[in-house]
Structures are given as structure tokens and as C-alpha cells.
Amino acid sequence: MKILAVDLGGTHATCALVEGRRILVRQTLALPGSPSLAATLEAIASSLEELHAGSPAQGIGFGFCGLVDSRRTRIASTNGKYTDAVDLDLAGWARERFGLPLRLENDARLALLGECFAGAAQGETDVVMFTLGTGIGGVAMIGGRLLRGKHDQAGVLGGHIPVNFAGRRCTCGAVGCAESEASGWSLPLVTRAWPGFASSALAARNIDFQNLFACATAGDAVSREIVDHCLRVWGAAAVAAVHSFDPELLVYGGGVMQRADLILPFLQDYLNAHAWTPWGKVRVRAAQLGNDAALLGAVPLFDQELPLVR
């Protein structure tokens, strides 16, 4: 079975033709600040038409960066991006334009599905995946099924687990979310407010995780304190996820994981020390598929009968 996969993020979309566990061909489209999904769909359609003409597919699996009602195939809520998306009928669009059925899912859920199907979580049925990047994605699978809940937002807001009730205001409306305490977008805010920042090595650099880790490794005291803060934020979110979802495995992806050598051992030790799991130890592992995860997740999304275990 060949599937057309779409992974739509805030700044780019990737369209691909996927067969089984192989991505046959992919195209990445830059979407510089496009606020409208209706306008963006035209570029996506052109790419899909090209892929579809070369090798006909049987369906479209669509990953979207917002809250998704997958049962109704509708986008339920966006976080400042593509505000017209909630009014769009993507299934109707796919039917009219391509004569194909379309299944819709949140992009982070799709990435977890991909890692279970072809990556770091193959053979696992109880998994939480965190994506540490500009924001923090956190999605849960229990008993081999993606957790959805009545309003389709169960187990998909792991980045918005509050870790500090006296913390920073988050884009979601809460305060002290993992994302507002230690993610790509909140790092400059956290860093500039840190005591001693002005005289730290970090003050002379662009503030991102790469520079933060570099300054900390070079011995800068403030950078070391902030790295420790971030690790503890992620550790608190990990414990919260374990206590909420009862996983046996936590998978970590995202750009921040370039320092997996530092992050994974910390999180494993933190969970060993703080998670209440009398049955054993929750394992911590790096994601394997990178940006391909959501594309490969489109296959089991589309064919629910397909076993996730090889």
C-alpha cells in the first residue's frame, strides 16, 4: 500500500510517498510565515499531484501542528498558526482534488506512531514521546493505541504539563509549562532573567541550546546553572508523564537532542530516583527517525490493521 504523507509544521511542509517502512520520495516546501492554511494547501496539492502522478497512492495521511479531531477529520484548535484551519474540510479537499480518502492526526502523535512503526519504539505498546525543540511535544500511547480522550486532547499536551506553578506564562494560557520553562522559544526569556546573565559567556552569543550547551561545557557557571534548570524541567515533565500514562519507554526527539549524550543519562537517573514504578524501571531512549517519523507514521495511521510490530 502506497500512502501520500504530509507533515505540516509552522515554517515548512514535507510531502512524501511512503510504502511500508520506506519513504520512496519526498519534497520539502518552505512556508515563510504563511498565516493561512487555505493558501498553503495549494502548494501542498501541487507537490502531492507530482508524487501521485509518478506512482498512484491509496490515501493521504496528514499531520498537522495543532489540536486535531481525528475521528471527525477536523482541526480543532491552532496555537497562532493557520487560524483558518478549523473551518477547512481537508477530507473533502482530498476527495475532490485527488479522489483519495484522507486521515488527519496531530503531528506529534504521528511522529510517535512512526517511531512505533519503524523507529526507536518498535515492538513497544506503552510509550510516551517527547520532542524537545522550539516547543515541546509530548504524546502518549497506551496498550498500543494513541491516547485521545473525549475532546481528542488526552496524551498530546506533554509539553504543557505544568512543572512550576509560579512559573512563566505559556502560549497555551497556563503558567509554568515545561515548554515555557525550558524550550527553544522560552530559553532566551529564561536566560536573560537569570541572575548573573549579563556577565556570563552566554550574554555575548545568540541564545539557543547549542550555544548554551557549548558555554556550559566550556565552564561558564551561569550556563551550567541554566542547563541544570532545563534538565530538571524535562525530568519533572518525564515523571509527570510516567505517573499519568504508565509507559515502559520514553522516547526523546527534537533538535535539542543533539546533546543526547548529556540529556538521556540525566533523565534515566532522574526517573530511577523519582518515578514511582514498583514494577521496574522506565527506559529512556533517543528517537531514531528524526523528521521522517511523522511521514512514516502516516502508514499505520491509514492502515489501522497494520501491525506496529514487525
Binding site for Zn ion (CB under 5 A): 160, 170, 172, 174, 177
Smallest separation, CB 122 to Zn ion (Å):
31
Q: Which is nearer to Zn ion, 159 or 297 (CB)?
A: 159
**Cell representation of residue 249:** 519507554
Smallest separation, CB 266 to Zn ion (Å):
23
The strand pairing partners of 30, in sequence order, are: 12
Q: Which is nearer to Zn ion, 20 or 162 (CB)?
A: 162
Q: Which is nearer to Zn ion, 135 or 297 (CB)?
A: 135
Under 8 Å CB-to-CB from 33, ≥6 apart: which residues? 11
**Cell representation of residue 242:** 510516567
Question: How many CA atoms lie less than 13 Å away from 196 in the CB half-sphere?
Answer: 9
Smallest separation, CB 155 to Zn ion (Å):
15
Smallest separation, CB 304 to Zn ion (Å):
30
Q: Which is nearer to Zn ion, 109 or 160 (CB)?
A: 160
Q: Which is nearer to Zn ion, 140 or 177 (CB)?
A: 177
Smallest separation, CB 10 to Zn ion (Å):
16
**Cell representation of residue 102:** 484522507
Q: Which is nearer to Zn ion, 178 or 212 (CB)?
A: 178
Smallest separation, CB 158 to Zn ion (Å):
10
Q: Which is nearer to Zn ion, 177 or 301 (CB)?
A: 177
Smallest separation, CB 286 to Zn ion (Å):
24
Whether the Cβ atoms of residue 57 and residue 4 lie closer than 8 Å to each other: yes
Smallest separation, CB 67 to Zn ion (Å):
13
Nearest to 171 by CA among 65, 64, 62, 68: 65
Whether the Cβ atoms of residue 250 and residue 128 lie closer than 8 Å to each other: yes
Under 8 Å CB-to-CB from 193, ≥6 apart: which residues? none
Cα distance between residue 6 and residue 120, in whole Å: 21
Q: Which is nearer to Zn ion, 120 or 178 (CB)?
A: 178
